[in-house]
């Protein structure tokens, strides 16, 4: 489902949060889908339970997931992205790969385009 790159400059918390958010937005984690427990995901990813708990807390604050003792952690409905946006992201990925760009370079292009389209919007480092 997700992975953590321990050599990345991006914290494990942010890697977990962003990957789960992307899966939810892409509809790969459907509404009411149950997420692994904090301990289970921490063990699977070989990170601290605190990192997973913090990522889950951030996702919950953003309204993407909810946590209840008996029901566990589940995906909130209504956060899947529209199919045209998913297709556009897939097209960007395809073109970037064909151009020989790395994921980081493609993300940089998207961040630049974002800033050009929405100068007042928070940058990737602020979000």
- Based on the domain organization, do 19 and 58 belong to the same domain? yes
pLDDT at 48 over 60: yes
In this structure, of 5-9, 11-15, 82-86, the range with the lowest mean pLDDT score is 82-86
Put simply, whether the predicted model's pTM sits higher than 0.85 gets the answer: no
Torsion of CA 103, 109, 113, 119, to 10 degrees: 90
Per the domain annotation, does 125 fall within a domain? no
Looking at the structure of the chain, the number of domains it has is 2
Domain of 31: which CATH number?
A: 1.10.10.10
- Based on the domain organization, do 50 and 87 belong to the same domain? no
Question: Which domain range does residue 113 map to?
Answer: 83-117
| Cα-to-chain-centroid distance, residue 64 | 10
Per the domain annotation, does 62 fall within a domain? yes
Mean predicted lDDT score pLDDT of the chain: 89
Burial of 55 (0-12, 13-18, 19+ CB in 10 A): buried
- Based on the domain organization, do 70 and 26 belong to the same domain? yes
Instruction: Report the pLDDT averaged over residues 90-115.
Output: 91
Confidence of residue 121 (pLDDT cuts 50, 70, 90): low
Strand 65-68 to 72-75 pairing? antiparallel
């Amino acid at each position: 489902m997700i992975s953590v790159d321990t050599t990345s400059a991006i914290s494990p918390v942010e890697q977990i949060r962003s990957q789960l958010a992307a899966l939810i937005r892409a509809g790969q984690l459907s509404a009411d889908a149950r997420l692994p427990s904090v301990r289970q995901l921490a063990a699977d990813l070989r990170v601290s339970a605190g990192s997973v708990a913090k990522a889950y807390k951030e996702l919950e604050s953003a309204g993407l997931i909810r946590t209840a003792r008996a029901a566990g952690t589940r995906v909130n409905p209504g956060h899947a992205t529209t199919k045209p946006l998913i297709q556009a992201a897939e097209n960007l990925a395809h073109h970037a790969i064909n151009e020989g760009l790395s994921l980081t370079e493609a993300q940089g292009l998207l961040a630049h385009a974002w800033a050009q389209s929405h100068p007042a919007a928070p940058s990737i480092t602020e979000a």
